[in-house]
Amino acid sequence: MAAKAKPRVGIVGAGIAGLRCADILIQNGARVTILEARGRIGGRVHQSEIAGHLVDLGPNWIHGTEENPIMDIADATKTIARDPEGRNISISCDGQLVDEQLTTKAAEFIWTTIEKAFEYSNHHGDSIPVERSLFDFIQEHVQKTNFSDKEKKLCLDSCKLWGAYVGDPIERQSLKFFRLEECIDGNNYFVASTYKRILEHVAKTALAQADIRFKQHVIKIEAPQIDGKHQVKVTTASGDIHDFDELVVTCPLGWLKRNTEAFHPRLPDRLLEAIKSISYGRLEKVYITFPEAFWNTDSNDTAHNKQPSANPVFAQFLEPTYTSHPKDIQWNQECLSLASLPTPCAHPTLLFYTYGPCATNIVEQIADLVEGSEKYNQVLTTILEPFYSKLPGYNPTSTSCKPTSILATRWQKDPYAGNGSYCNFQVDLTTGDKDIEALRSGVGLGPERGIWFAGEHTAPFVALGTTTGAYWSGERAAVQVCGKVGLGRIGVGVARDDSLPSASAGGK
Ligand SMILES: Cc1cc2nc3c(=O)[nH]c(=O)nc-3n(C[C@H](O)[C@H](O)[C@H](O)COP(=O)(O)OP(=O)(O)OC[C@H]3O[C@@H](n4cnc5c(N)ncnc54)[C@H](O)[C@@H]3O)c2cc1C
């Protein structure tokens, strides 16, 4: 008797979700083809070099260390990841170093209030008005303290930098659905040696056993019912057509928002509503390298395991009055000193995080410029010099304080990244949790027509918008397909239950 043919499963996208999905499907006996628009794997997990050092253009944090498969992979691959503890400094709106006791007091208030906001959102989500923002919540709480007016203002100015976690201003962050920003328990670790080996590990099975087709930009996904049976037909921009029994679509939410008409027949209304309702954030990064870490004025360097160093690790620049910027755009910034990383990962580079309208404005300014060109460097230096020149040790005449290389991300110009960074949940959202559940279950699409969604925007609630969430979503979609076509469930991790709220705070 002839053996039963292996089901043919297509996956659109070779990011973490697609690669993990392929891994599980292959382990369970499916024949897997991955159609990837780019000429590489990884999607938003991607590295580039600055001044001879490898850096992550997408994620560089692991959010939550407990029972997090990405943390386990980091350990297994000897990836160096650490909680970058150390001195945090704030630069006031008029460009002065804020008294460090005050900075600590404001930071403690903000973290405690963020925890309270998660708790409030978890327990009162149903009754919280859709227009209430995270900022409203923090503002109300700061008014109830006995802080001085100066301290209250510092708390409110500092809390706005939480925008860099969600990828948009916190005045737009929904309080009702703030619980969907909550992360896995444990610390937030910075991946000092980059996500490179983590990606290689996740991709191993797919690279060895899937049929990966690069430069295959999918433009049409059809699911006709023929003789009561569905079939999935995928067309790429180059005109190639691929037929599958089942298809997993891992294109980012931002891509789905712009390409709902790629699906034939039309996507079910519930899925269209979900795609429209959830927002897509705008986080960007700028790496800027100097001949030496001039801000490290304390020669007692932690990288060499001596006493704790007084060198700054994080610097926050509150809404500045000392540099011009477009009206109505928040221009506050946050940077991390990569000189604070453990040896051998440390280098004299500052990593600036920009978000929301400010990130969009910066990306627009460099959109047409060649990376590394004189004009590109000049535009970015003009934007950032007002900030890094406020760091300790800065001397305008010293060559140590002149940048040698600058590298900025432009995810908002990248259609394959959905022209943004990751999903977020903004005010006026009414059914955010149900929207995510609809995308996961593929209501009216997966069981009926063989098309399933995966990707960070379909992750378990505790991991939405993260690499861990993308990884779990790939597993989940593989299990859905296996269940439907009658394959096993080998290699899938512990089931996760969304009804259990996690206790830890932390964004992307
Ligand atoms: C700046 C930035 C910082 C971040 N920081 C963190 C962090 O610190 N920690 C963290 O955990 N997460 C972070 N994230 C989020 C994290 O990168 C994502 O959650 C995760 O990488 C998403 O994986 P994915 O597989 O869902 O999507 P992707 O990685 O985007 O994979 C989708 C794949 O589909 C391909 N594709 C898209 N459209 C098509 C098409 N039409 N046809 C064929 N292929 C297509 C893309 O090229 C891509 O390879 C960050 C993201 C950004 C952008």
pLDDT digits (tens, 9 = 90+) for 404-463: 999 999 999 999 999 999 999 999 999 999 999 999 999 889 888 999 999 999 999 999
- Residues ≥6 apart with Cβ < 8 Å to 291: 348, 399, 400, 402, 404
Q: Looking up tokens 């000429």, which residue turns up?
A: 39
Domain assignments of the chain as residue spans, ordered by start:
8-44+194-279+426-485, 84-186+282-416
pLDDT at position 447 is 87
CA pseudo-torsion sign 460, 462, 466, 468? negative
pLDDT value at 154 more than 80:
yes
d(CA 52, CA 463): 32
Question: With 0-12 CB in 10 A as exposed, 13-18 as middle and 19+ as buried, what is 394?
Answer: middle
Q: Is the CB of 38 under 6 A from ligand 1?
A: yes
Compute the half-sphere exposure of residue 129: CA atoms within 13 Å on the CB side of its CA: 5
Q: Is the CB of 508 under 6 A from ligand 1?
A: yes
301: left (phi over 0), alpha (psi -120 to 50) or beta: beta
pLDDT value at 500 more than 90:
no
What is the arithmetic mean of pLDDT over 267-272? 96
For the stretch 60-92, pLDDT in tens is 999 999 999 999 999 999 999 999 988 999 999
pLDDT value at 303 more than 60:
no
DSSP conformation letters of 117-185: HHHHHHHHGGGS-TT-BHHHHHHHHHHTS---HHHHHHHHHHHGGGHHHHTS-TTSBBSTTGGGG-B-S
**Token digits for 344?**
């051998």
pLDDT at position 306 is 53
- Residues ≥6 apart with Cβ < 8 Å to 123: none
Contact by Cβ (8 Å): 213, 12: no
Q: Is the CB of 60 under 6 A from ligand 1?
A: yes
pLDDT value at 302 more than 90:
no
507 confidence band (pLDDT: 50, 70, 90)? very low
d(CA 189, CA 59): 11
pLDDT value at 126 more than 70:
yes
Which of 275, 422, 423 is the pocket-test mutation for ligand 1 (most atoms within 8 Å of CB)? 422
CA–centroid distance, residue 12 to ligand 1 (Å): 12
Q: What is the CA radius of gyration of the chain?
A: 23
CA–centroid distance, residue 57 to ligand 1 (Å): 11
For the stretch 90-119, pLDDT in tens is 999 999 999 999 999 999 999 999 999 999
pLDDT at position 298 is 85
Of the candidates 169, 228, 225, the one whose C-alpha atom is nearest the C-alpha of residue 357 is 169
3 confidence band (pLDDT: 50, 70, 90)? low
CATH superfamily of 8-44+194-279+426-485: FAD/NAD(P)-binding domain (3.50.50.60)
What length does the chain have? 508
Q: Is the CB of 17 under 6 A from ligand 1?
A: yes
CA–centroid distance, residue 43 to ligand 1 (Å): 5
What is the arithmetic mean of pLDDT over 382-402? 98
d(CA 422, CA 279): 8
Q: Whose CA is nearest to atom 20 of ligand 1?
A: 467
492 confidence band (pLDDT: 50, 70, 90)? confident
d(CA 37, CA 11): 12
Q: Is the CB of 79 under 6 A from ligand 1?
A: no
Ligand 1 atom with least separation from CA of 255: 38
What is the arithmetic mean of pLDDT over 219-230? 86
φ/ψ of residue 7, rounded to 5: -60, 140
Compare 140 and 5 and report the one with higher pLDDT. 140
Residue type, 424: N
CA–centroid distance, residue 461 to ligand 1 (Å): 17
Element (H, E) at 498: none
pLDDT value at 310 more than 50:
yes
pLDDT at position 137 is 98
| Angle, alpha carbons 507-74-65 (nearest 5°) | 40
d(CA 279, CA 43): 19
Helix, strand, coil distribution of the chain in percent, nearest 5 = 40, 20, 40
Instruction: Quote the mean pLDDT of the chain.
Output: 93
308 confidence band (pLDDT: 50, 70, 90)? low
Task: Produce one character per residue of 430-442: b if its CB has 16 or more CB atoms within 10 Å, e if not.
Answer: ebbbebbbbbbbb
What number of other Cβ atoms are within 10 A of residue 412's Cβ? Answer: 21
Q: Looking up tokens 């990707």, which residue turns up?
A: 455
pLDDT value at 467 more than 90:
yes
CA–centroid distance, residue 89 to ligand 1 (Å): 31
Q: Is the CB of 58 under 6 A from ligand 1?
A: yes
d(CA 506, CA 485): 38
Ligand 1 atom with least separation from CA of 70: 11
CA–centroid distance, residue 297 to ligand 1 (Å): 37
pLDDT at position 336 is 98
CA–centroid distance, residue 442 to ligand 1 (Å): 20
Ligand 1 atom with least separation from CA of 35: 43
Of the candidates 196, 173, 165, 184, the one whose C-alpha atom is nearest the C-alpha of residue 78 is 196
Kindly report whether the peptide bond that precedes residue 344 is cis, defined as omega within 30 degrees of 0.
Answer: yes
pLDDT at position 307 is 61
Report the C-alpha dihedral over residues 497, 500, 505, 506, rounded to 10 degrees: 10
- The CATH label, of 3.40.50.150, 3.90.660.10, 3.40.50.300, 3.40.50.10610, for the domain at 84-186+282-416 is 3.90.660.10
pLDDT at position 300 is 66
176 confidence band (pLDDT: 50, 70, 90)? very high
pLDDT at position 491 is 76
Ligand 1 atom with least separation from CA of 284: 1
DSSP conformation letters of 367-411: TTSPTTSHHHHHHHHHHHHHHHTTSTT--TT-GGGS-SEEEE--G
Q: Looking up tokens 């499907």, which residue turns up?
A: 25
For the stretch 182-204, pLDDT in tens is 989 999 999 999 999 999 999 99
**Token digits for 45?**
């997990």
Q: Whose CA is nearest to atom 53 of ligand 1?
A: 421
What number of other Cβ atoms are within 10 A of residue 341's Cβ? Answer: 23
490 confidence band (pLDDT: 50, 70, 90)? confident
CA–centroid distance, residue 401 to ligand 1 (Å): 34
> Which has the minimum average pLDDT: 199-203, 296-300, 345-349?
296-300
Which of 44, 48, 168, 462 is the pocket-test mutation for ligand 1 (most atoms within 8 Å of CB)? 44
* Distances 234 to 34, 36, 242, 251 between C-alpha atoms, Å: 11, 12, 5, 14
CA–centroid distance, residue 47 to ligand 1 (Å): 13
489 confidence band (pLDDT: 50, 70, 90)? confident
Query: Residues of the chain with pLDDT > 70: what percent?
Result: 94
What is the arithmetic mean of pLDDT over 17-43? 97
pLDDT value at 349 more than 70:
yes
d(CA 144, CA 263): 51
